[in-house]
Amino acid sequence: MITLQQLKFKYPNTAFGLTIDQLTLDAGLTAIVGQNGAGKTTLIKLLTGLLTPQTGQIQLAGHSLAELTPAQRLRQIGITFQDPDDQLFNSTVESEVAWGLKQLGTDTETITATVDRVLLEVGLQDRREQNPYDLSLSERKLLVIATVLAIDPAIYLFDEPMVALDWQSRQRVMAIFHRLAEAGRQVIVITHDMDLVAAGFDSVTVLRAGEVVFTGTPTALFQDAALVQRAQLMLPRLMQITAALGDSGVYLDVADYARQHEA
């Protein structure tokens, strides 16, 4: 569980600030959504300690984030940025995945087995000797996911993980998310993809102009048309289609639509 209390952060020389009086992010699959500039990436950076709030506190499972050592943070929190090039710096795919484990003093045998396992899970087992920058953008996105899977922290933070992924890779990543949640990990995803939010997540938090304006289930979010409009979000495509046909129901995916219209 992540708890934020009386949190305030403001960038120097700008008008933008993030203010969160109280927010609890529970285990499972949580999406963080909002228009560009709402504060999503700033929140993620605060959760990882890349930014420090001017006031307030962030607690991870009851422990203050500020009190964790770098090694403890690495064990507790893993992050992938929207642009994988911001975090790739090793000469081979294999060494990229192994790097974090080496920082933790992991033995060679465990490193080898872990690298093999996570590269297989993301589908890069045949790319291990390649330079990361010889991979496609989609493959580099999968690689940074692999680097976090290797550490297997308690909390996973993903910033727009589906951007640039094809359908097969998206399915692979969602399967990873569900596996992690079932294993008791906390998975938090920043996304603009409302279809993904509707079909794949237990909880959603909405940011608008640096403030939390909603936290709850996707169904509750999409039932509130005024909130969706105020936060400048899009409805899932299925709901856009059904709304155009005069149906104001909330449908998370095609299977949900079929269930609600069974004879």
58-110 tens-digit pLDDT: 998 888 988 888 888 888 999 999 999 999 999 999 999 999 999 999 999 99
- Predicted local distance difference test score (pLDDT) of residue 239: 96
At 16, is the pLDDT very low, low, confident or very high (cuts 50, 70, 90)?
confident
Q: Quick check: 24 pLDDT over 80?
A: yes
Bridge partners for 9 per DSSP: 18
Q: Output the six-digit token pair for 37.
A: 């500039």
* Interstrand relation of 203-208 and 28-33 (parallel, antiparallel or unpaired): parallel
Q: What is the tally of structural domains in the chain?
A: 1
Q: What domain range is 202 assigned to?
A: 2-235
Distance (Å) of CA 138 to CA 7, 82, 191, 241, 246: 35, 11, 16, 29, 38
Task: Indicate whether 104 belongs to any domain.
Answer: yes
Q: Quick check: 263 pLDDT over 70?
A: no
Q: Domain with 167 in it: what CATH number?
A: 3.40.50.300
Length of the chain: 263
Distance (Å) of CA 239 to CA 54, 99, 246: 40, 44, 10
Q: How far apart (Å, rounded) are the C-alpha atoms in residues 230 and 166?
A: 31
- Alpha carbon of residue 105 to chain centroid: 27
At 177, is the pLDDT very low, low, confident or very high (cuts 50, 70, 90)?
very high
Task: Indicate whether 247 belongs to any domain.
Answer: no
Q: How far apart (Å, rounded) are the C-alpha atoms in residues 94 and 150?
A: 11
**238: number of Cβ within 10 Å:** 20
- Predicted local distance difference test score (pLDDT) of residue 48: 87
- Predicted local distance difference test score (pLDDT) of residue 151: 95
Task: Indicate whether 258 belongs to any domain.
Answer: no
Task: Indicate whether 19 belongs to any domain.
Answer: yes
Task: Indicate whether 170 belongs to any domain.
Answer: yes
- Predicted local distance difference test score (pLDDT) of residue 71: 82
Smallest CA-to-CA distance from 64 within 79, 81, 51, 47 is with 47
- Predicted local distance difference test score (pLDDT) of residue 27: 84
The proportion of the chain whose per-residue pLDDT surpasses 90, expressed as a percent, equals 85
Task: Indicate whether 251 belongs to any domain.
Answer: no
Task: Indicate whether 241 belongs to any domain.
Answer: no
- Predicted local distance difference test score (pLDDT) of residue 26: 85
**103: number of Cβ within 10 Å:** 12
**191: number of Cβ within 10 Å:** 21
- Predicted local distance difference test score (pLDDT) of residue 68: 86
Write the pLDDT tens digit of every residue in 202-249.
999 999 999 999 999 999 999 999 999 999 999 999 999 999 999 999
- Predicted local distance difference test score (pLDDT) of residue 6: 95
Task: Indicate whether 77 belongs to any domain.
Answer: yes
Write the pLDDT tens digit of every residue in 100-140.
999 999 999 999 999 999 999 999 999 999 999 999 999 99
